[in-house]
């Protein structure tokens, strides 16, 4: 036996769980975007991430949970980006204009998210398992938006015509609707049109806010 053979083998380092989840989410996002929810297979997602199907199930309950995690993460990132991009704005009208621009750009630039969200929502209407993921996810998104609205209106010193929960629902319905309309008719529902629609509603929601 050589000296090298006599040396004990170094243990293979275990990949941190968060890194495993990150790689699975990234691979799933690519495959779901390419194939859609229905035609994406967990085996292919696990293989693309460099893991077994068992590793995927140990981190996510199944296809619905994995899909929901992707949509939830994107929604969280989008809201966080809007809040960072507007954190120095104290004027209600300027805030409405900036948010309208940011959200409209996201709608036309990230059409994959729009397609996936629409597909999953449609599936949830007839699939109890999908609904069990979509319902709490949508509620959490509206609650996060409501908290953001309270933060923004407090900073701008405004008094919106409706409460934050209803305002969050209105904005979610509008952004989801604009995303669907853009997917169906991108020429007519351009970024400019989406921005003007969003701005009109946001200006109304902040109409009671006095300028600084």
State the CATH number of the domain containing residue 176.
Answer: 1.10.357.10
pLDDT at 3 over 80: no
pTM for this model (two decimals): 0.84
What pLDDT is stored for residue 160 in this prediction?
Answer: 85
Same domain, 45 and 119: no
For 203-206, the CB contacts below 8 A with 24+ separation are 203/93, 203/96, 203/97, 204/161, 205/96, 205/149, 205/160, 205/161, 205/162, 205/167, 205/170, 205/171, 206/92, 206/93, 206/95, 206/96, 206/153, 206/156, 206/158, 206/160
Mean pLDDT, rounded, for 127-143: 93
Q: Which of 60, 87, 113 is the last residue of a domain?
A: 60
* Domain membership of residue 40 as a residue range: 15-60
Same domain, 125 and 148: yes
Mean pLDDT, rounded, for 168-194: 97
What pLDDT is stored for residue 61 in this prediction?
Answer: 87
CA distance 89 to 83: 10
CA distance 97 to 94: 5
CA dihedral 115, 133, 136, 168 (to 10 degrees): 0
Q: How many helices (H) and strands (E) does the chain have?
A: 10, 0
What pLDDT is stored for residue 7 in this prediction?
Answer: 53
What pLDDT is stored for residue 13 in this prediction?
Answer: 57
Same domain, 108 and 124: yes
Q: Are 172 and 142 in contact (CB under 8 A)?
A: yes
Place of tokens 């669907």: 180
pLDDT digits (tens, 9 = 90+) for 5-16: 445 444 445 788
Determine how many CB atoms are found less than 10 A away from the CB of residue 66.
Answer: 24
Longest dimension (CA), the chain: 84
CA distance 76 to 101: 18
pLDDT band of 208, cuts 50, 70, 90 = low
CA distance 125 to 146: 25
Tokens of 93: 């009208």
> How many independent structural domains does the chain possess?
2
């Amino acid at each position: 036996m050589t000296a090298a053979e006599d040396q004990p083998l170094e243990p293979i380092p275990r990949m941190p769980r968060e890194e495993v989840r990150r790689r699975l989410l990234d691979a799933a996002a690519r495959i779901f975007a390419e194939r859609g929810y229905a035609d994406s297979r967990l085996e292919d997602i696990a293989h693309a991430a460099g893991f077994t199907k068992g590793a995927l199930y140990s981190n996510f309950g199944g296809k619905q949970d994995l899909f929901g995690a992707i949509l939830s993460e994107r929604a969280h990132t989008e809201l966080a980006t809007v809040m960072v991009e507007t954190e120095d704005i104290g004027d209600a009208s300027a805030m409405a204009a900036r948010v309208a621009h940011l959200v409209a750009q996201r709608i036309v630039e990230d059409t994959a998210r729009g397609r996936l969200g629409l597909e999953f929502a449609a599936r949830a209407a007839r699939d109890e398992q999908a609904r069990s993921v979509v319902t709490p996810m949508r509620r959490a998104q509206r609650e996060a938006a409501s908290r953001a609205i309270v933060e923004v209106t407090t900073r701008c010193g405004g008094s919106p015509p409706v409460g934050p929960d209803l305002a969050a629902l209105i904005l979610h319905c509008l952004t989801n609707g604009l995303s669907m309309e853009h997917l169906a008719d991108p020429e007519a529902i351009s970024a400019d049109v989406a921005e003007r629609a969003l701005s009109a509603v946001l200006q109304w929601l902040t109409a009671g806010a006095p300028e600084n």
